[in-house]
Structure 1
Amino acid sequence: MRETNINFDRRSLLRSIGGAAAVGAIGGGSTAAAATREPNVRTDPLGTVQIEGTTNEAVTGDDGTVAYVSRDTGFVTVDISDPSNPTVMANLGDTGISGILDAKVDGDRLFLAGRRDIGLYDISDPANPTQLDAFDNGFGIHNSFLVDDIAFAINDPVAEIVMYDVSNDEFDEIGRYQPSGLGDNPLLHDLWVQDDVMYMAYWNDGTPMVDISDPTNPELIGTVRDGSDMFPNNDHYVQVNEDASIIIIGKEAFGDGLGVEIWDIADPTDTSFLAEIDPPSEGGTRTSHNCDIVGDYLYSSWYSGGVRVHDISDPANPEEIYWWRENNVSFWTAKVGVPGESFIGNDYANTELYVFPDPGDHGGDNEAPSAAFDASPVDPSVGETVSFDASESTDPDGSIAGYEWEFGDGSSGSGETATHAYASAGEYTVELMVTDDAGATDAASELIAVSDDGECGAESESTTENGFLAWWNTDEVRTYSTQTSDPCGVSIELAGPDFANFDLYVTYDGRTPTRDDYDDRSAGSGASESIAGGLDGATDVGILVDGVEGWGEYSVTIGEQGR
């Protein structure tokens, strides 16, 4: 039996910044008709792991196989790919950031928010996270968000959002926002950002929806409900579903506890209340805390009330399908790992991470495909074309919808078959990812050993060509004819304006490249891209510059190597 050790330092923080708003939050039950039923599913956790130090938030990475758990002055990465054996991979105990209450993941980056500091980490290798930037921003932060190269931090003392551009892996403040018409002593507790809309959980003032397509000039769309629509309000946590047709508003109050509201926001100018999920029937402190929505399922944490899962395919009639609690365990978090396999709950009272079975039906009984491919030859010379054939890949209950190749030298391709030539000797791991018609994936890899039977680069040619993209001219194709006596390699460097996003596509056999038909591509987030590939004799190189976003002049520098 665990010793009861629930720490309410977070509430002390809220009281210090919220004043009367936090005091008014205590007490009161739900005012709507209950939308729950007695739980009929209780499956024990699949696995647990002890976390060293004081813990708070826990989130999962994009592929659901790694959890990131915040500590007071750092964070821990946990491998949950085997839900029955969660394993700590990295433990960063002293990041220089103190009082960390929130963590957010987007792609290969982790955003930490502390009492006065924020930090950004590269987590491309979860076992070896590295700090990109950190600084003292001069105000207390309880919650945050990270998406599409923008970090959002709540300035607790004044209840505003501060936005930072992190596209260069450092914090560059680009704006602050607070909607007008708030009451006295406003308290902004949390936020959610999706598809250029920011949803702001103002404790007693409702949940505004804000257009941030231009983050330097946010514009209020409307309010899910203002502070007078439901009482007590206590808007603590918000999240929308995938198409933003519904929003959940988690409400927090100690004492009798509060639940989770579900609202229809398909038309954000005409929202409507659908249902409320009441607190569980057992547990000491059992008010709602953090939640997650994946597909048609809502995952929620309730402190001592445990963790729960509701089917919200009919959001007006949510149905509880899972509930687990244990005495002296208090959950801060409920977040999905791999849909259909697991979700996590962070017991911050005992600093332990739980991995639970996911009862949600995310895609039915779909079986994953099996990836396989042949490569010929597997021991080519520099510049020699290698053919890849993935026709042996299979799907037991459907069809394969996509094939994506990574050739190991920074180049990629797509399609059931592909070709590639290497510009330099070495060993390259080729990876194939197949995706079936239900979204399941599988991967296969093979080692290609490239030898150098002649010095590639003994002869060289280079040229630079300029172009211009705009709304009336969103892409340009050009052809480069090789000039050396025995072409063996080529490099293409694209340089465009800083504010634009241009992509680069290349073919090596004279055909015209398109976004769907190419040999190599480089598609980063900016307008500067590069590709290097091998050549096997004289040919025409096709080059497509595609303007994904923005406009302006660009240059393409082509470097050819020959023997």
Structure 2
Amino acid sequence: MKRSRNARRLSGVLVAAVAALTAGAITAPAGSAQGEIPGVDEIVHSPNLRQIAHLDKQPPFDQQSAFGTDIAFTGGHAIVGNYDGFTIYDVRKPHKPRVVSQVYCPGGQNDVSVSGDLLFLSTDYARSNDSCTSEPLAASDPSSWEGIKVFDISDLSAPEYVASVRTDCGSHTHTMVPDRKRKSVLLYVSSYSPAPQLPNCQPPHDKISIVEVPLAHPERAEVVATPVLFPDGGNEGGTNPDGTRRAATSGCHDLTAYPERNLMAGACMGDGLLIDIRDRLRPRVIDQVQDNVNFAFWHSATFNNAGTKVVFTDELGGGGQPTCNARFGPQRGADGIYDVTGRGATAKLEFRSYFKIPRHQAGTENCVAHNGSLIPVKGRDIMVQAWYQGGVSVWDFTDSANPHEIAYWERGPLSDTENVVGGSWSAYYYNGHIYSSDIQKGLDVLAIRDPRTAPAKSVRYDEFNAQTQPHYGR
């Protein structure tokens, strides 16, 4: 979810197996008539994707303003960020998830990643200090703090706060990349929207921050590089042909690394990037693309397993608006699928098609493309993805020019009279099941039973961060 800055940053916003299912086809949904928008909180789904467990948000994270956010996985546990901290769930029995611990530590978005016994947390709202008892502060105050927090989670029932690192413009999201040679992990920090009146976020903000966390001494974490990705500037922003605004580039929203292939994809407001990370501290932009017709805000990215495609998401409306409807159509607030052509320094991103969920949502439902991950099926490109109140979609982009949905699950609107921000923030596949972090409702566990995704059942990870893509199918 993106947010805007001013003197004080704005808070908030802002399916039984069906063996006969044919590729590209979905049968009528369970729970409502075909094409109808479900009622408030009514669950509808395709027959091959169903909910098997749910846990509501627990106090103190049960307030409407305490948005559930991103997810990282370690040792059969799901760690879910929240604007007010994070929750650790035991999901070793997916049908019976349970809360292991919660840490109250306000500082949205609290984007999370994990490496071994360390948990990393992004703070992107100005705070009075780096503690978990800090108060909101105006971003124009030079003493305000934003950045990365580091926790020791060797005891999942009692995480310990061990370090913090301040970063320019805060840390909206971050991407963890192990560096075995340096015996550390590197956190590539994305932040954006500088302004002259913000002393800790001065323009031009054409860079990212790289924080190094030594594994043996996480308390020594520090910024070790601030590489500039846009030396000649990024998208200047403006108005798309349909009259909607597109963002000017002043930093990046999210980065996805594919360490085995030394690649990174950058979703940077008005630009999509392909980046060489062979030199971990000196990332080099290989290609830079824009879509000044249909994209409004380049939000996140996902490689296919071969590293020959990138799916970029467009978060039209900042995550708080209803954009899954006839007004915006099938190409706005959608995914853009790009093939990676050529190799090395000559590699290029070539646009192939858009994908958007084929169901219109209510006018009170915030809905747009958001966070997802691959379902690890060798030889096919299948992704599960969150669409806020558009729910969870599973779709196939093996043919880059002809993507199609193969499964879905969603709730009806939170309200039929007003737009209450909610829905699935992140939906990821982990060790045989799909886990969805719902902004308002909590944790959903889904089971997919479909011959096209069945091979993924054999793929197991101890640790999984969606923005640090693992390779599978050796």
Q: Normalising to structure 1: TM-score of the pair?
A: 0.55
**Counterpart in 1 of 2:350?**
272
Matched, 1:289 2:375: no
What CA RMSD, in Å, does the superposition of the two structures yield over aligned residues?
3.1
d(CA) in 1 for partners of 2:461, 2:172: 37
Alpha-carbon distance in 1 for matches of 2:358, 2:119: 32
Does residue 207 (structure 1) correspond to residue 272 (structure 2)? The answer is yes
1:259 aligns with 2:322: no
Partner of 2:211: 164
Q: Distance between the aligned counterparts of 1:321 and 1:289, measured in 2? A: 18
Query: Contact 1:56–1:102 at 8 Å: present in 2 too?
Result: no
Alignment counterpart, residue 111 of structure 1, candidates 105, 120, 124: 120
TM-superposed CA distance for 1:200, in Å, is: 1.2
Conserved in 2, the CA contact under 8 Å of 1:300 and 1:334? yes
Quick one: which amino acid aligns to residue 276 of structure 1?
Answer: Y
Structure 2: 5+ residue stretches without partners: 15-22, 29-45, 125-145, 179-184, 195-204, 237-247, 318-322, 415-421, 463-474
Match of residue 14 from structure 1: 4
Deviation (angstroms), 1:218: 2.5
1:179 corresponds to 2:230: yes
SS in 1 for 2:208: strand
> How far apart, in 1, do the equivalents of 2:82 and 2:455 lie?
38
- Alpha carbons 1:191, 1:198 under 8 Å: kept: yes
Q: Deviations over 1:350-394 (max 9, x none)?
A: 3x1111113466884699xxxxxxxxxxxxxxxxxxxxxxxxxxx
Cα distance in 1 for partners of 2:155, 2:341 equals 38
Asked if structure 1 preserves the Cα contact closer than 8 Å seen for 2:25 and 2:406, the reply is: no
Instruction: Specify the alignment match of 2:135 in structure 1.
Output: none
Q: What residue identity is the alignment partner of 1:104?
A: S
Which of these two proteins has the greater Rg computed from alpha carbons?
Answer: 1
C-alpha distance in structure 1 between counterparts of 2:223 and 2:149, whole Å: 14
Task: Report % sequence identity.
Answer: 21
> Does 1:243 find its partner at 2:270?
no
The CA distance in 2 between the partners of 1:175 and 1:244, in whole Å, is 26
8 Å Cα contact 2:120-2:150 kept in structure 1? yes
Pair 1:304 & 2:389 matched: yes
- Counterpart residue number, 2:201: none
Q: Distance in 1 between matches of 2:222 and 2:165?
A: 11
Q: Distance in 2 between matches of 1:175 and 1:120?
A: 18
The answer to whether the Cα contact below 8 Å between 1:201 and 1:237 also exists between their aligned partners in 2 is yes
Which has the higher mean CA deviation after the structures are superposed, 212-221 or 355-364? 355-364
Q: Give structure 1 stretches of 5+ with no counterpart.
A: 1-9, 20-25, 27-34, 368-437, 443-563
CA–CA distance in 1 between the matches of 2:454 and 2:435?
21
Distance change (3 Å), C-alpha of 1:78 and 1:264? same
Residue in structure 2 matched with residue 45 of structure 1 by the alignment? 51
Q: Hey, which of these two has a bigger chunk of strand by percent?
A: 1
Once the two structures are superposed, the pairs formed by residues 77-476 of structure 1 within 5 Å of their partners are 77-94=88-105, 98-115=107-124, 116-137=146-167, 139-148=169-178, 149-156=185-192, 157=194, 158-167=205-214, 168-169=217-218, 170-177=220-227, 178-181=229-232, 182-184=234-236, 185-187=248-250, 188-195=252-259, 196-204=262-270, 206-223=271-288, 225-228=289-292, 230-254=293-317, 255=323, 256=328, 258-267=333-342, 269-283=347-361, 284-295=365-376, 296-327=381-412, 328=414, 330-338=423-431, 341-350=432-441, 352-359=442-449, 364=454
Determine the C-alpha separation between the residues in 2 that align with 1:202 and 1:441: 29
Aligned to 1:57: 69
1:262-291 deviations in whole A, cap 9, x for unaligned? 111153523322332123413232211112
Aligned residue pairs: how many?
338
